[in-house]
Amino acid sequence: MATDARVRDLVAKGDLRGAAAEAIRGLGPEVLRYLRATLRDEADAADAFSHFAEGLWRGLPAFRGECTLRTWALRLAVNAAANVRNAAWRRRVRRFRTGEASAIADEIRASSVARADREARGLETLRRALSMQDQSLLALRVDQGLSWEEIAEVFSGTGRPARAATIRKRFERLKARLTQMARDQRLVE
C-alpha cells in the first residue's frame, strides 16, 4: 500500500504534519465515499469528514501500526459518522423536506426514469431503516469493497474484538433481511 508506506516513512522522519497531510490526501477520497454511503446526506458527510480529518491529524502520532493505515482511517471514519449521526442538535432540529421538488420532478420525467427514481428512493429508505452499524457494514463491504478481515479490524475499534466469520454471517443475515424488506415494499419481485 503506497500511502501506508509513505505515511510511515514520514512519521519515522518526524514529519507528522506531512504524514497527516499525505494520509488525508491518500485515504480521503475512499473515506468520503464511505461517509456519503453511510450518512446519505452531503452536509453530514462533510461534517463527518472534517471530524475524521481532525481525528487523523491528532491521532497519527499515537497510531501503533497494529492494523493497516487504511483500516485505522476507516475506523476513525466509522466513529466520525456515528458522532455526527448521534449529535444532540440533530434530535432538536426539524429537517427541511425535499419531497415537494421530487414530486414535481417525478411528474415531468418519463415513466421509466420515474420508476428508477422511485426504486432508488425505496432502496434509500431501506438503507435508512438499518441500524448505524448495519449501514456501516453494508457500506464497508459493498461500497468500499473491504475484505471480511478488514471490516473486522474496523469494527474491533469499537471496544469488542470482531471476527471475520462473525461479520460475514451478520452480512448474510443483513442481505436476507434487506431482500425481505424490499419484497415487502414491492421494490423487487
Asked if residue 167 lies in contact with residue 148, where contact means CB atoms within 8 angstroms, the answer is yes
Q: What pLDDT score was predicted for residue 62?
A: 86
Give domain limits for the chain: 2-95+129-184
Ranges in the chain, pLDDT < 50: 96-97, 99-113
Cα end-to-end span (Å), the chain: 42
Hey, what CATH class is 2-95+129-184 in? Answer: mainly alpha
Q: What pLDDT score was predicted for residue 109?
A: 39
Q: What pLDDT score was predicted for residue 76?
A: 93
Q: What pLDDT score was predicted for residue 184?
A: 82
DSSP 96: P
Rounded CA separation 68/91 (Å): 35
Q: What pLDDT score was predicted for residue 79?
A: 92
User: Where does residue 58 fall: left (phi above 0), alpha (psi -120 to 50 degrees), or beta otherwise?
Assistant: alpha
The CA-atom distances, in angstroms, between 176 and each of 43, 75, 132, 139, 172 are: 31, 26, 18, 16, 6
